Amino acid sequence: MSLHASQRADWVRASVWEFLRGQDLGADLVPAEAMRANLDRSAPWIRVGFLDLPPSPAGQVDGVYTNRVPVNLLLDVHAPDGSNTDQVNLWAADRIASLCRAAMANADLPLYDYTNPDAPAAVAGVSLIFHTPPPTLQDIGNVNGWIRRRVTARGIYFERLAA
């Protein structure tokens, strides 16, 4: 039995990354696993993370069993608070978080097949949908010279179970 492209969580995450890289968010994107974005303490950055949630059976699509898979995308915006540099923009974190929130609101992202990583192809009939509820924005507190905001976007996609 082979896996359908929609069963590859790494491809789902890579598809989201591809979308985010195409947005003008005003900050570097960094995987959640990274401890620190870079040594430049004067530039904002966004930690991108995913919260894995269990799938639930969704019936059949075109005769193929499917699962409804929720996706929680966490975008933690970090902007310098001025304690480590002479420059500070107190509104930078809010501005960047607002851009993240707007980018994810009502987003329909294609799911890409990365069998050939140099030329990923869109998977027919599968998309990542970030419609309801709208992305949330919250202050997660300042720490170590960074003003931080979190945007949480909740989406779904339908995983097809290959026969």
- 68: CATH: 3.30.2000.20
Beta bridge partners of 110: 127
Q: Is residue 66 a contact partner of residue 58, using CB atoms and an 8 Å limit?
A: yes
Sign, CA dihedral 143-20-16-35, equals: negative
**Structural domain range at position 156:** 5-160
- The yes-or-no verdict on residue 37 having pLDDT over 70 is no
pLDDT tens digits for 91-140? Answer: 889 999 999 999 999 999 998 888 888 998 888 878 899 987 899 999 99
Q: How many domains does the chain have?
A: 1
How much is the pTM?
Answer: 0.87
